[in-house]
Structure 1
Amino acid sequence: MGGGVRSGKWFVAAPMALLALATIYPLVFTTNVAMKTRHEYILNRFSVTESLRWDNIDAAWNSVGMARYFVNSIIVVGCSVAVLLLLGSMAGFALGQLRFKGSRALFLGCLAALFIPFQVIMVPLARTMADTGLLDTYPGLILTYVAQFLPFTIFLMTSYYAGIPADIIDAARIDGNTLYGVYRRIMLPIGRPALLSVGILNALFCWNDVLIALLLMPSAEHRTLMVGVTALRGQYSDDIPTFAAGVLIAALPVLMIYLFFQRQIADGVTAGSTKG
């Protein structure tokens, strides 16, 4: 029986190890290329670099403009996530705990919005942004991210808050709290795991986006980091180490978020499935 258990573990561990290797190898390869000179890369792109060189990363950060793109992404992602968490938590509290006329239809409408591809609305959206003067501006991209990812945020927060016993809300109201007081003093602290989870996920969605940012931020000055990396591929097609350095700069923040917050992401996603 012991041999059967060990073989069963290997049956699961082997594919997971291969999946982990397939995930880690591109990052290792990109880091190795970013440390090479153009001459080394042309001679043998798969060889291990002889020494650590930061010239390509410095060139990508300063000369190519990745520093500016990085700041643009921080501004847009930070503001978008803050608005998403505020609106999503308030809507989740209302739809998950309060019963009012049309609440069920409103929740179903949010669910339906999850199934609308962005490609369906991108043309009228671009025209609307141009007509209102929001094209190629931070507020225009922030509002678009909020509209695009708010249904997902509301769905997760509603599912989480719906699992909280209604007795807690009733007790808080009896103590004299208004609905806003219940939301601020009770629901926000209780919803911290879900808020952290959905905040991280939305940050990753916004950070990795290329299509929306490319559509609404056409100028080089306002490019986000991922759009900058895409443009870098065309400008430095003959200088792959510099391009690899730009990819590495864009990937490192996402990697750090996964490494430091993987437990919080898992806990937040599963928190809404249990009551109390």
Structure 2
Amino acid sequence: MPGRRVGRWLVAVPMGVLALATIYPLLFTANVAMKTRHDYVLDRFSLARSPNLDNVTAAWTNVGMERYVVNSLIVVTSAVALLLLIGSMAGFALSHLRFRGSRAVFLGCLAALFVPFQVIMVPLARIMADGRLLDTHAGLVLAYVAQFLPFTIFLMTSYYTGVPGEIVDAARIDGNTPYGVYRRVMLPLGRPALLSVGILNTLFCWNDVLISLLMMPSADHRTLMVGVTALRGQYSDDIPVFASGVLVAALPVLVLYVFFQRQIADGVTAGSTKG
């Protein structure tokens, strides 16, 4: 019994320190956002004397963050919808439809996970420029789909591999085409995985800066995260306003994580527990 208690403490203490190290930057940013510029210059680590939302209002109105939020919502929603549609179809095909080259396709998707975006960013930009897709929502959506599709296919294939083949055979005997099996059987069974992968892809796309900065050079089409980085340059001497912008950008992600943390954990571990 004492040994078990010591073991629990050996796990709890490092996890507590890690949690504190993760939460502290968020609390520090929120505290700075509630300060005036004068108070921050005097003492950046003290608690805000008279907390207010003036900096949040300034960051929202003076820089046009509402436009950045709309751009992010359009791009992220479209990209995640395409990722789930294509990824679920490919996952079903690679796990239950036997065709020549299916193993090579899956291994190719797996290999694509190890290719950093920095390796393909220049060719991607050239292709998008030739297709007149630079500085457009459609171009950024396609870039996100190209970047995160291998991850989506891998997780959906891993999940669908755990679905018994007898279920697919029974659906085919009932007269369903492969598309009918996908729509009537695999989509309902894959809802947990689709939810997990959808949340992860939403976080990836929402938090992205590099791809969006490459694909959206003009200020009018910036996403929220790129807009926040521009806010740092515009208000380099007004850190509380910049901190307010960071807080606004992080709030949707925090809300999403609070409500769907179990699904996020399931999505991260799906590939290691299935087939």
Aligned counterparts, 1:129-208, within 5 A = 129-208=128-207
Q: Tell me, yes or no, if the aligned pair for 2:71 and 2:223 is still in contact at 8 Å.
A: yes
What whole-Å deviation, never above 9, does each CA across 1:27-86 have from its counterpart, x for those lacking one? 000000000100110111111012220110011111111111111111110000000000
Q: Tell me, yes or no, if the aligned pair for 1:141 and 1:216 is still in contact at 8 Å.
A: yes
Match of 2:258 in 1: 259
How many angstroms apart in 2 are the aligned matches of 1:127 and 1:274? 38
How many angstroms apart in 2 are the aligned matches of 1:141 and 1:271? 27
Q: Tell me, yes or no, if the aligned pair for 1:193 and 1:271 is still in contact at 8 Å.
A: no
After TM superposition, the structure 1 stretch with the greater mean CA deviation from structure 2, 112-121 or 40-49, is 112-121
CA deviation after TM superposition for structure 1 residue 269, in Å: 4.1
What whole-Å deviation, never above 9, does each CA across 1:164-196 have from its counterpart, x for those lacking one? 100000111111111111101110010111111
- Name the SS for the 1:135 alignment partner: coil
Match of 2:84 in 1: 85
CA deviation after TM superposition for structure 1 residue 90, in Å: 0.1
Match of 2:60 in 1: 61
How many angstroms apart in 2 are the aligned matches of 1:269 and 1:226? 23
- Name the SS for the 1:99 alignment partner: coil
> Is the alpha carbon distance of 1:34 and 1:197 closer, same or farther for their aligned partners in structure 2, counting shifts above 3 Å?
same
Q: Tell me, yes or no, if the aligned pair for 2:155 and 2:197 is still in contact at 8 Å.
A: yes
> Is the alpha carbon distance of 1:274 and 1:132 closer, same or farther for their aligned partners in structure 2, counting shifts above 3 Å?
closer
What whole-Å deviation, never above 9, does each CA across 1:81-110 have from its counterpart, x for those lacking one? 000000000000000111011111111111
Match of 1:116 in 2: 115
Q: Tell me, yes or no, if the aligned pair for 1:56 and 1:245 is still in contact at 8 Å.
A: yes
After TM superposition, the structure 1 stretch with the greater mean CA deviation from structure 2, 82-91 or 197-206, is 197-206
CA deviation after TM superposition for structure 1 residue 270, in Å: 4.1
Aligned counterparts, 1:224-235, within 5 A = 224-235=223-234
Residue type at the aligned position of 1:31: A
Q: Tell me, yes or no, if the aligned pair for 1:69 and 1:224 is still in contact at 8 Å.
A: yes
After TM superposition, the structure 1 stretch with the greater mean CA deviation from structure 2, 257-266 or 211-220, is 257-266
Q: Tell me, yes or no, if the aligned pair for 1:194 and 1:269 is still in contact at 8 Å.
A: no
Residue type at the aligned position of 1:139: A
Q: Tell me, yes or no, if the aligned pair for 1:36 and 1:49 is still in contact at 8 Å.
A: yes
Provide TM-score, normalisation by structure 2: 0.97
Aligned residues: 274
> Is the alpha carbon distance of 1:274 and 1:126 closer, same or farther for their aligned partners in structure 2, counting shifts above 3 Å?
closer
Unaligned regions of 5+ residues in structure 2, if any?
none
Unaligned regions of 5+ residues in structure 1, if any?
none
Match of 1:240 in 2: 239
> Is the alpha carbon distance of 1:215 and 1:271 closer, same or farther for their aligned partners in structure 2, counting shifts above 3 Å?
closer
Q: Tell me, yes or no, if the aligned pair for 1:197 and 1:264 is still in contact at 8 Å.
A: yes
> Is the alpha carbon distance of 1:127 and 1:268 closer, same or farther for their aligned partners in structure 2, counting shifts above 3 Å?
closer
Aligned counterparts, 1:202-221, within 5 A = 202-221=201-220
- RMSD of aligned alpha carbons: 1.2
Residue type at the aligned position of 1:101: R
Residue type at the aligned position of 1:24: I
What whole-Å deviation, never above 9, does each CA across 1:175-218 have from its counterpart, x for those lacking one? 11111111011100101111111111111111111111001100
How many angstroms apart in 1 are the aligned matches of 2:76 and 2:117? 18
How many angstroms apart in 1 are the aligned matches of 2:208 and 2:268? 22
How many angstroms apart in 2 are the aligned matches of 1:178 and 1:265? 32
Match of 2:75 in 1: 76
How many angstroms apart in 2 are the aligned matches of 1:268 and 1:122? 27
Q: Tell me, yes or no, if the aligned pair for 2:88 and 2:153 is still in contact at 8 Å.
A: yes
Provide TM-score, normalisation by structure 1: 0.96
How many angstroms apart in 2 are the aligned matches of 1:34 and 1:268? 33
How many angstroms apart in 2 are the aligned matches of 1:248 and 1:219? 23
Match of 2:93 in 1: 94
